[in-house]
Structure 1
Amino acid sequence: MRSRRRLGALSLAAAVTLLLSGTCTSNAAQDRQAAAPHGERGGLSGAAACPGLDGYTCATLSVPLDHGGGTPGRLSLKVAAADNTDAPKGVLLFLTGGPGQPGVPFVQRVTERLKPVLKDYRLVMLDQRGTGDNALRCPGLQEQMGSSDLTSPTPDAVRSCAGALGPARRFYATNDTVADLELLRRALGVRKLTLDGVSYGTYTAERYALAHPSRVARLVLDSVVPQTGYDPMDLAAMRAAPGILTAACEATDCPTDPAADLAEVVERYDNGVDVLDTLTTYEFVDPDFRAVIDALHQAANGTPGPLNGLIQGVREGSAALAEELSQGLHAATLCLDGRYPWGRSDAPLDGRRGALEKAAADLTAADLGPFDTATATGLGSMLSCLHWPRTPAPPLPPAHRRLPPVPTLLLGGDRDLSTPLEWLYDQKRLTPRAQVVVVRGAAHSVQTRAASDAGREAVADFLLGH
């Protein structure tokens, strides 16, 4: 689950923007008639033309803070929906990533990328709970982590964030968002949704499909986080890094061996967390990793200055406001959803560090690739939840439960370190009607960021198919 934002301090001019990170559906009119009874609809209010978005209406979806009903309070989620309510293939709900990113600010970008299918589908996007104007705000954690989920935060920043959110932090798990999406479906008055998720959005889409299998027409999963969840040690990315750098080097005829240089750098400088953080950010600037490969080679040969400058530039350039990527929401959701060496979010604090050290001691070189146990145990998403106060853990689906047998496109780039292809194939094993498309030379968020049109064309063919 990745949340990269931008790189403002690098020599390259490119900037990283926020990640957007069955058979044909029934006739839209029939779907509306078959939706939830009229008395269960509603929840959308304040409908008006979206400022600066031709052809879209913005409204507010009112949802309970606690879907279980035990804690009072409601949340207001911003929704943008295309005005073609008679779209023959129904609603296409596009889910952004993070967790922590809003959706409505990206409507224009997604509309441009998905234009070939939007005569047949009604595009809908929303700001999920805890994002956008209603972002969970944790100034200290936000400043330290920006848009990264690998930068290591201080324990004080984590504890301060959790304390500021208070007991309500338990209501920001993915299953809470899934319940919000079901209320949105009812409010839209449709029988089924086609879901297109990117990064964490794929996980949300999978969880919705598991919870409401009869309400899903099709799934597009771009840059896949498997339904079994995110690995807080990021071992798949560590294993994938040498091959990705080698492929990038071959594509640009570079004269070095970046896999060997990477291994030498991590061993010599003990900077695995910083290097992995830099690699998984830099793919948004240049999926050929030119500057990184050169800096790694210089560092491997005893000149670490260029690499250190790159690491610092990534850190400075990854700054993000909570409205752009809420680190409070990011931490709350990952800690509630995650499976960690110490267990779930309700595990006692006292035993967590020991459980983490024991898990690290069991790792082998094959698990870690060119990295080390200090990298596996020092990543930001791990440390945030190591220090997160005990919080009731929500139920998770059984680990090996399969997705419903609806047409599903699994889309990935072969240069993606944020959500490595290993995760895509993990999900494929749990997806009965999976179609896989891997775009060469593409990194994270294929639909919205890849230079090649191959992924977007595959999505269009899939969504317009019968």
Structure 2
Amino acid sequence: MRNLARLYAVGAATTVLATTLAAPAQATAWGTCPAGPGVDPRQECTTLQVPLDYRAPGGPTISLAVSRIKTAKPASRRGVLLIIPGGPGSPGLNRPSVQIKKLPQDVLDRYDIVGFDPRGVGQSSPVSCDLETRDLAFTRLKPYPDADGGIAENVAWSRRIAEACARNGGPLIRHISTRNEARDIDRIRQALGERKLSYWGVSYGTYAGAVYATMFPGRTDRVVLDSNDDPDPRRVARQWLANYAVGVEDRFPDFATWAAARDGEYGLGTNAAAVRRTFLDLAATLDRKPLPWPGTTDLDGNLLRETMLNALYSDANFPMLATLMRAARTSGELPPPNTPPVAVMQNTAAHAGATMCNDVEWRDTVTSYQRQVTRDRAAHPLTGGMPVNVGPCQFWPYKPAEPPVRVTSRGPANVLLIQNLRDPSTPYSGALKMRQAFGQRARMVSVDSGGHGVYLANGNACGDQTVTTFLTTGNLPSHDKNC
């Protein structure tokens, strides 16, 4: 559920698709994408029919929404660069329109830039669990415990989510998984008429990209995995959630140092340690006495923690977090919240839950979860025990149809990992596990920066140039690299 509070950044109303393929392996028939916010006029759209259940390829099908912006230099074209979105649950149909503004010309000359909404997301046969309004709060979509550390409400919430998805999710809810996303990606490759596929996966897209590179190694060309998930096949998304505790602790000092340098403006502390104390004290105060926050639920300690977590994704969010903290401490006017549309939250919550629960079985006792939360709150107070708490997968009514993929070193040496040292969501320690899993198939570029997202995201010329060189020449660095 990594990107739930960033849904408004990608938007729900990207495009409506134009044409439908008769068969997956046929050449695509592209149509014009209707104009919309941020949609480049060069972006074309189509839909692709894929099996609902790959174990029954002749059975019901679902639609995948696919888009592209073709290279303006066909003579230089190498193939396609597919952008695999994060999440799970983030749409990707409009990513070509976004990234064409950032990608270097050398890359745009060599590739058609291709995007897609994963199965169940956005325009691709969307899924919904029709959750109750109370269960769509940000502090419920991630399992923050009660102010006293209790998890009874989390247990009740988790049961309601699992039951709602079983009741309202339809047949599709059982067939959303990372293995099936990898199979869908290969159908996109076939439909585009490409022998091999280059792609750029970000966040959860790194895991989906790693699974594709493991299931279909001979069909990969140049693979860039940006902000990497830990691919531990025993835990998968359960480990991703747990990693928030580490990632936030890695990243918060960047914000604290920034705020301390502006103590005259925000009054949060004159050094990083003081800013940290201010945050923890404010969260505890809001736990006891929440403040009204028009446009959302009350600002309690957990909503402050969730707002902080998402603010750490980019330095550009630091002023918003500091302003919110200052207003909450001084009884000032709280800044307006960013609240994504309910339909987008419903879609993303259902897809994220299905992916996480269908990839690997989560089973523990409530007592064990409570012990883990108590320990984690003491060890990592910034996240308040949320990363190890109980969630819907504990009560998910379906067992995974297949075991998780174990990412290995078997396959061509064509994988470049790029990673910030201080990522709040996919921490460096987890990315090292991805590097270890790929072995000699991969090289890793470690960037001395904070935030989530690396390539073309934070102005690190060394990291950006390394990725661009790989995409344009296919040359991996001779060894892992620090930037």
Q: What TM-score do you get using the length of structure 2 for normalisation?
A: 0.73
> Could you tell me which residue of structure 2 aligns to residue 427 of structure 1?
434
Of residues 337, 343, 353, the one that matches 1:321 is 343
* Partner secondary structure for residue 80 of structure 1: strand
Structure 1 residue 405, shift from structure 2 partner? 4.1
Name stretches of at least 5 consecutive residues in structure 1 with no aligned partner: 8-15, 21-38, 343-351
Of residues 163, 169, 172, the one that matches 2:173 is 169
Matched, 1:437 2:445: yes
Kept in 1, the 8 Å contact 2:33–2:45? The answer is yes
1-structure distance, mates of 2:383, 2:468: 41
Kept in 2, the 8 Å contact 1:242–1:259? The answer is no
Matched, 1:215 2:219: yes
Of 159-168 and 175-184, the range deviating more from structure 2: 159-168
> Could you tell me which residue of structure 2 aligns to residue 136 of structure 1?
127
Matched, 1:231 2:221: no
> Could you tell me which residue of structure 1 aligns to residue 306 of structure 2?
277
Letter in 2 for 1:336: N
Query: What does 1:126-275 align with in structure 2 at a 5 Å threshold?
Result: 126-133=116-123, 134-140=125-131, 144-145=135-136, 149-150=141-142, 154=157, 155-228=159-232, 229-231=236-238, 234-251=241-258, 253-254=260-261, 255-256=270-271, 257=273, 258-264=275-281, 269=287, 273-275=302-304
Cα deviation, 1:250-276, whole Å, max 9, x if unaligned, reads 345531323444555566748774444
Cα deviation, 1:280-317, whole Å, max 9, x if unaligned, reads 21134645734545766998xxx5967x957xx65x63
Structure 1 residue 51, shift from structure 2 partner? 3.7
Of 419-428 and 324-333, the range deviating more from structure 2: 324-333
Letter in 1 for 2:466: A
Kept in 2, the 8 Å contact 1:232–1:340? The answer is no
Kept in 1, the 8 Å contact 2:197–2:219? The answer is yes
2-structure distance, mates of 1:111, 1:146: 34
Matched, 1:353 2:366: yes
Query: What does 1:5-404 align with in structure 2 at a 5 Å threshold?
Result: 5-6=5-6, 17-18=9-10, 42-43=25-26, 46-52=29-35, 53-69=40-56, 72-84=59-71, 88-116=77-105, 117-133=107-123, 134-140=125-131, 144-145=135-136, 149-150=141-142, 154=157, 155-228=159-232, 229-231=236-238, 234-251=241-258, 253-254=260-261, 255-256=270-271, 257=273, 258-264=275-281, 269=287, 273-284=302-313, 286=315, 289-290=318-319, 292=321, 303=329, 317-319=339-341, 321-322=343-344, 326-342=348-364, 352-357=365-370, 359-360=372-373, 363=375, 368-370=379-381, 374-378=385-389, 382-388=390-396, 390-397=397-404, 399=406, 401-402=408-409, 404=411
Letter in 2 for 1:369: H
Q: Does 1 or 2 have the higher relative contact order (CA < 8 Å, sep 6+)?
A: 1
* Partner secondary structure for residue 94 of structure 2: helix
Kept in 2, the 8 Å contact 1:110–1:448? The answer is no
* Partner secondary structure for residue 114 of structure 2: strand
1-structure distance, mates of 2:410, 2:380: 31
Cα deviation, 1:57-84, whole Å, max 9, x if unaligned, reads 3221110101000883111111113334
Of 151-160 and 193-202, the range deviating more from structure 2: 151-160
> Could you tell me which residue of structure 1 aligns to residue 17 of structure 2?
none
2-structure distance, mates of 1:441, 1:144: 35
Kept in 2, the 8 Å contact 1:143–1:319? The answer is no
Kept in 1, the 8 Å contact 2:357–2:393? The answer is yes
TM-aligned CA distance change 1:364 to 1:453, over 3 Å: same
TM-aligned CA distance change 1:6 to 1:56, over 3 Å: closer
> Could you tell me which residue of structure 1 aligns to residue 480 of structure 2?
none
Structure 1 residue 336, shift from structure 2 partner? 0.9
1-structure distance, mates of 2:121, 2:322: 35
Letter in 2 for 1:64: P
- The CA RMSD measured in Å over matched residues stands at 3.8
TM-aligned CA distance change 1:400 to 1:412, over 3 Å: closer
2-structure distance, mates of 1:147, 1:43: 42
1-structure distance, mates of 2:448, 2:317: 11
Paired residues in the alignment total: 418
2-structure distance, mates of 1:275, 1:131: 28
Structure 1 residue 446, shift from structure 2 partner? 2.8
Kept in 1, the 8 Å contact 2:252–2:312? The answer is no
Structure 1 residue 86, shift from structure 2 partner? 5.9
2-structure distance, mates of 1:150, 1:451: 30
Kept in 1, the 8 Å contact 2:407–2:437? The answer is yes
Structure 1 residue 115, shift from structure 2 partner? 3.9
1-structure distance, mates of 2:392, 2:430: 22
Cα deviation, 1:179-202, whole Å, max 9, x if unaligned, reads 111111112222211120111111
Structure 1 residue 222, shift from structure 2 partner? 1.2
Kept in 2, the 8 Å contact 1:243–1:259? The answer is no
Letter in 1 for 2:380: G
